[in-house]
Homo-oligomer: A and B are copies of this chain.
Amino acid sequence: MTKRDFLAMEDWSSDEIDALLALAVRCKRGEVAGGMARRVLAMVFMDPSLRTRASMETAMFLHGGHALTLEPGKGSWTMETDVDAVMDGSTVEHIIEAARVLGRYADALAVRTFPKGSDWAVERQDLTIRNFARYCDKPVINLESSRRHPCQGLADALTMREHLGETAAKRFVLMWAWHPKALPTAVPASAAIAAAHLGMDVTIARPPHYDLDPDDYAVIRGLARRRGGNLAVTDDLDGALDGAHAVYAKAWGSLERFGDPDAERALRDGKRDWRLTEERIRRTAGGAGIALHCLPVRRNVEIDGAVLDGPQSVVVDEAENRLHVQRALLLELIGSREP
């Protein structure tokens, strides 16, 4: 019997994802208690977190378990990720040992690791999370890697189901937003995958040079088609928003300038108008489309405060749903069958 990891939504079958979402709904309704007595989740945060840490820790506690947090470089050892490294530099602990050892203490390992390098050809392989999964003999959960943020994707899916009801053939727009920094593409890719899972018609509105990785497009398109939807990519933001049922505003950096902040900034210059405003949210279907964001959001930069504070924003529900989908995921991966 092999252990099961959760590194990307598309690694699991659609039936498995639907079962998770159904269990999340039952968790949210208060119908699922216990299941994690004496269970330990070890979390390794190589990057900052608010929702992820708070919701995972709460998820374990609510079911009787415990989540512990290690922060390499901040309280825990700096980590080496190159499998073949001769470690005579500044990194102290190899992820091989960290993965093996934490697998002895904990029932599952959860890892956050943002891209750090300068070469997308390397980063797109998502080696850090994959090596954690390879060397740990317990389930490994992706808390956002270079390529994916699948717990966020699950929460996005649950939130759209809650607010839109039947999602098939409804229109989902992932809109690029300006941001002072070049952010990773894990969240936008995962949000579009979530929408594809729901059978929605997915439109990605982004300026030239801001395409997601071609493989991401292939995954989104393939999944959308299997589930009855489709994928379109456009640079006509306002046109895309017309009649949309859900708008996911999110900043990300150009992969064409990955690892070159100055060049990337030059590409971004002049695009501050790519922002979800009240005027834009009114373009949505019936003027009532929902606005999503993974948070943290740059207020009045990615999304205007008036939208975030208005009735169409579901960002707080979306953040809450992180808790419930993760309860379901943890119960599925490491829960006991006893009540």
Contacts and interface: CB of A to CB of B under 8 A. Distances in A.
B89 A51 contact: no
Contacts of A250: none
A230 to B, nearest CB: 32
A77 interface: yes
Given A40-B61, A76-B48, A323-B105, A315 B54 contact: no
Contact of A58 (B40, B75, B315): B40
Contact of A70 (B54, B86, B101, B305): B54
A97 B308 contact: yes
A264 B179 CA distance: 39
A184 to B, nearest CB: 14
Given A50-B93, A94-B299, A105-B320, 11 more contacts: A42-B54, A54-B101, A74-B74, A86-B301, A88-B298, A89-B180, A94-B296, A100-B319, A101-B319, A104-B319, A104-B323
Interface of A: 38, 40, 42, 45, 48-51, 53-55, 57-58, 61-62, 66, 68-71, 74-77, 80, 84-89, 92-94, 96-98, 100-102, 104-106, 180, 295-301, 305, 308-309, 315-316, 319-320, 323
Which 6 pairs from chain A and chain B are nearest by CB?
A: A93-B296, A104-B320, A87-B298, A101-B319, A86-B300, A61-B66
